[in-house]
Amino acid sequence: MLFLTFVNFLLCATLAVADLTESSLKKHVDSLKLDFAFNPVKPAYWTGYPHHRRTPFAISPDGKSAYLAYLDNSETDVHVQRIDPATFTAIGKATTVKGAKEAGGLVAQNDGFALLTNEPIPSTTANAPPGNTPVPVLYRYTGATQTWKTFLGGPGVHEADGLSMSPDLNGDLVYSEKAKMYGAYFVVTDYKGRASGHFGDSIQYVDDAGKLQKIAGASSSWGCSHNTGIAFEAADAPPYASLCAEDHGAIWLNTKTQSMNGVKLSNENTTNGASNEPMGGMSGSYSQLARLAGKKSYIFSWVSRGALDLHEDAWRGKGFTQANNRTIGRNVAIAIMSDKSTLVGPEATSNVGAASGDDQVNWITKGSADCSNAHVAAFDGKTALVTWEEIANPRCDFIAMGCQGTFTGSKYQHIDGATGKKLGNPISSMDTYVAGDMVTMPDGRICWPYPNVKWSLDKAPGWGGAGGLPPVKSISFACMSAAAPNRPQPRLRCSR
């Protein structure tokens, strides 16, 4: 009897968190008709390999409205479309933010939205960046009317630290209901001051009235050198949870430091200003870090080639290391944080001479396939969804960049949010892709936007800088449920 009770307990525990199946994934193909054409491809840094051009997606706190932002096919003007979250169809006409150059992050509110973007300012403006280079800016709209606009860089913003511009944001925008504060984390290039001519990153906070805040221990004008990836998520108070990848050999949980220091999460090879595109590279750095519902804990996803043969970083000196790659292709990894600044488990070693530099990593994949475009979102307070794309037989010509080859599917893996363990096996899809923010809906589904195209990770003629796919006039949505609907379950009484 005791044995049967134990078996009953195990069965009930298994049923409580069901594996994902093909019926867990639902598609709304071409549901959103766009008012303007959209180019779905963004060329990667250095290689020009195809990346999805991000379409930021967000849902309002009351769950009644969703919004999608996308860059016009002309690469000037960002359009924000209100969406019915039940049907993923358009409500009214898109709101256009004139002159905007990148859809860099989106927050939905009950009465409108906030958009992180970048835009050039008139060259006649005192201390304007050279060559009409864009500067970061945060817009707040009530309905279709601009409520306020706050510059996050450029003339007059942290002038004592140096003036910054953002030719590419590659960052994210979040909002905390408790703090009543927007947080933006993005890439910058300084054009005046001690870091002039160099790339870094910046974290800025703006209150509900549109006032830029300078918060000690949270705001930052310059953080990770030549930033190669950002992960950012709201917390109950600033500083918000943050991670950065830099160009010297590490990924840092830098919530407390806002710099290329703090809790060392991973050793990474860095070459020519790149570190294996851990957070997606160009047009990435979104849905990399998720907070479990009702908890203080977070889960982070990235791709890595692992780390071997640690040696001292000659530029940074004692206590800092660089590494060689373990694998040719990249694998998917996750890390759990018990709160916004505390890693669960050991941090990455900094021991010079160590033969292995990745023993602490929780690998979701291990193999010869190349994995890219990794993202994560929480279903609830217990489990999460990790996604990535695969090339089964990759060609990897660049030591710290992406790979090319035949696309062999988007993968979706259910994860225990407390332990980081895989729940069942991943499911695969050849016609859905994560090309915009993964959003947890009020009913517990995770939904995201993607273009209905035949996706390719080959660098064939016409891809990357040579033009990419034809522009699209509609966006599709995919949704994943934690348990497959309408799946018959054993009739089992789960007693306590």
pLDDT, tens only, 64-91: 999 999 999 999 999 999 999 999 999 9
- Other CB atoms within a 10 A radius of the CB of residue 429 amount to 15
Give tens-digit pLDDT for 136-156.
Answer: 999 999 999 999 999 999 999
What's the CA gap between 154 and 129, in Å, rounded?
7
Residue 123 pLDDT level (bands cut at 50, 70, 90): confident
Phi then psi dihedrals of residue 389, to 5 deg: -115, 150
The answer on pLDDT for 462 being more than 70 is: no
Residue pair 116/184 in contact (Cβ under 8 Å)? The answer is: yes
Per-residue pLDDT at 487: 42
Omega prior to 239 cis, within 30 of 0: yes
Q: How confident is the model at residue 494 (pLDDT cuts 50, 70, 90)?
A: very low
> pLDDT band for position 486 (50/70/90)?
very low
Q: What percent of the chain has pLDDT over 70?
A: 92
Reported as a pLDDT band with limits 50, 70 and 90, residue 464 is very low
- Span 432-458, average pLDDT: 97
Identify the sign of the CA torsion 352, 354, 360, 366: positive
Residue 213 C-alpha from the chain's centroid? 24
Given a cut of 70, whether residue 174 has pLDDT beyond it is yes
State how far the Cα of 120 lies from the Cα of 111, in Å rounded to an integer.
28
* Residues 264, 266, 267: CA angle, nearest 5 degrees: 105
The number of residues making up the chain comes to 496
Residue with tokens 């009020």: 442
Whether the per-residue pLDDT at 16 is higher than 90: the answer is: no
If phi > 0 it is left, if psi is from -120 to 50 it is alpha, else beta; for residue 171 that is: beta
Tens-place pLDDT, residues 188-241: 999 999 999 999 999 999 999 999 999 999 999 999 998 999 999 999 999 999
- Residue 286 carries which DSSP code? S
Cα distance between residue 377 and residue 132, in whole Å: 37
Q: Which residues pair with 117 in a beta bridge?
A: 137
pLDDT at 113 over 80: yes
pLDDT in tens, 276-290: 999 999 999 999 999
pLDDT at 483: 65
Distances (CA, A) of 226 to 222, 237, 247, 305, 317: 10, 27, 6, 20, 18
- C-alpha angle with apex 369: 323 to 248, nearest 5 degrees? 20
**Rounded Cα–Cα distance for residues 234 and 174 (Å):** 6
C-alpha 377/C-alpha 292 separation (Å) is: 8
CA dist 227 and 199 (Å) reads: 7
- Give the mean pLDDT of 251-276: 97
| Neighbour-count burial for 103-115, b at 16+ CB within 10 Å, e otherwise | bbbbbbbeebbbb
Residue 338 burial class via C-beta count within 10 angstroms: exposed 0-12, middle 13-18, buried 19 and up? middle
Its pTM stands at 0.94
Distance CA 346, CA 342 (A): 10
Give strand pairing partners of 383.
416
Q: How far is CA 327 from the centre of its chain?
A: 23
- Tell me which of 7-21, 292-306, 406-420, 434-448 is least confident: 7-21
Cβ of 99: how many Cβ atoms within 10 Å? 15
Listed range (74-78, 170-174, 445-449, 457-461) with the worst mean pLDDT: 457-461
* Residues 374-394: tens digit of each pLDDT: 999 999 999 999 999 999 999
Using a pLDDT cut of 90, give the percent of the chain over it: 90
- Cα–Cα distances (Å) from 228 to 117, 244, 449, in that order, read 19, 7, 24
Burial 219-234 (b: 16+ CB within 10 A, else e): bbbbbbbbbbbbbbbb
Q: What does the pLDDT read at residue 345?
A: 98
What pLDDT, on a 0 to 100 scale, did the predictor assign at position 13?
42
Q: Is the pLDDT of residue 315 over 60?
A: yes
Q: How many CA atoms lie within 13 A of 284 on its CB side?
A: 32
Give me the half-sphere count of Cα atoms (radius 13 Å) on the Cβ side of residue 29: 5
DSSP state letters, 55-96? --EEE-TTSS-EEEEEE-TTSS-EEEEEEETTTTEE-SPPEE
3-state secondary structure of 395: strand
- E strand or H helix that includes residue 14: helix 2-16
What is the distance between the alpha carbons of residues 168 and 173, in angstroms, rounded to a whole number? Answer: 14
CA angle 389, 243, 310 (to 5 degrees): 85
* Residue pair 162/193 in contact by the 8 Å Cβ criterion: yes
Q: Which residue has the tokens 């934690």?
A: 482
Residue 488: pLDDT band with limits 50, 70, 90: very low
